[in-house]
């Protein structure tokens, strides 16, 4: 299962980066643990492998965990899926959402448990990272819902997963803290340099499809241009750009009009501060989705 990971770890392009090599060596030697896909997400994935899957079986797996069942119902009745009548049972939620959305939603729910630590020094770092990821995910979902042929639940999950490579970096940082370490600054530097490569490694180990792996691999690659058709990485890239704009980090960003992904979107109207006008229109929906993830 991990043969692909070994190839990434041994990429000769990184031989001159001593810190990256140290982190990769720690991963190889299990001194830094890669996060495992949560058990409930594995159960749902396995249940759907049978083309003749039983909706009641899926519903029972979901209902077995009260928090997950409540979360699935929230999503089914959220701005992403809201219908004329509210959904009240897990079975009806599975019917409304469909196979792929349910798998994405279950994994989205379980992601929160990965952003926890026993280290008091790093709790705030993980909390801020989770808040950042949920904001990017919510924006991604709203953008995807307004693009033809895109699944907003997949975009929501992709937005959360783009920073999955940050988790082993936090684990590594835990063993390299000094009394005068600026933890936030150190984490930001590590993430900027290494989160994309490690995120790619994790998503390959979780056996995700290439389009989702690409989301992590292209983290903060503003110049990425995959061709004329918009893909989920384009959506998450623009969502991330908008998030940084919203928290006042404009100086680190290119103009949105210089990003190839922007020119593929079906909506290009901008506000005076160069953010997407559509995100201003739907800011209440974005906030509702973000709160569901919190």
Q: How many CB atoms lie within 10 A of CB 31?
A: 13
Reported as a single tens digit per residue, the pLDDT across 12-28 is: 444 337 777 777 787 77
Domain boundaries, the chain: 13-293
Q: How far is CA 91 from CA 44, 60, 73, 160, in A?
A: 14, 8, 10, 26
The larger pLDDT score, comparing residue 88 to residue 23, is at 88
Q: Give the whole-angstrom CA distance, residue 233 versus residue 215.
A: 5
* Residue range 13-293 in CATH 1.10.3210.10: yes
Percent of the chain past pLDDT 90, that is, above it, reads 36
Residue 179 binned pLDDT confidence (cut-offs 50, 70, 90): low
Reported as a single tens digit per residue, the pLDDT across 232-288 is: 999 999 999 999 999 988 888 999 999 999 999 988 899 888 889 998 999 999 999
List of residues 6+ apart from 176 with CB closer than 8 A:
none
Q: Is the predicted pLDDT of residue 1 greater than 70, yes or no?
A: no
The mean pLDDT value for 193-213 works out to 91
The whole-number pLDDT of residue 13 equals: 46
């Amino acid at each position: 299962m991990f043969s692909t990971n070994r190839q990434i770890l041994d990429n000769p392009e990184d031989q001159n980066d001593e810190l990256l090599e140290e982190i990769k060596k720690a991963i190889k030697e299990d001194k830094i643990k890669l996060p495992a896909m949560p058990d409930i997400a594995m159960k749902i994935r396995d249940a759907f492998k049978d083309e003749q899957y039983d909706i009641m079986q899926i519903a029972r797996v979901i209902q077995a965990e009260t928090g997950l069942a409540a979360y699935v119902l929230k999503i089914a009745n959220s701005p992403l899926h809201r219908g004329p009548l509210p959904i009240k049972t897990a079975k009806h939620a599975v019917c409304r959402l469909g196979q792929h959305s349910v798998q994405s939603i279950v994994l989205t729910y379980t992601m929160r448990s990965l952003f926890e630590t026993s280290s008091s020094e790093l709790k705030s770092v993980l909390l801020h990272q989770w808040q950042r990821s949920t904001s990017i995910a919510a924006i991604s979902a709203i953008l995807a819902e307004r693009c033809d042929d895109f699944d907003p639940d997949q975009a929501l999950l992709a937005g959360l997963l783009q920073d999955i490579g940050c988790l082993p970096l936090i684990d590594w940082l835990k063993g390299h803290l000094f009394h005068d370490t600026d933890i936030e600054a150190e984490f930001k530097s590590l993430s900027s340099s290494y989160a994309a490569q490690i995120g790619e490694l994790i998503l390959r180990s979780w056996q995700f499809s290439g389009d989702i792996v690409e989301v992590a691999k292209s983290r903060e690659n503003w110049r990425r241009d995959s061709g004329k058709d918009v893909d989920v990485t384009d959506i998450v890239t623009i969502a991330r750009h908008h998030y940084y704009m919203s928290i006042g980090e404009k100086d680190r960003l290119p103009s949105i009009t210089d990003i190839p992904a922007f020119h593929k979107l079906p909506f290009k109207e901008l506000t005076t501060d160069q953010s997407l006008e559509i995100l201003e229109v739907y800011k209440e929906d974005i906030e509702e989705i973000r709160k569901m993830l919190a």
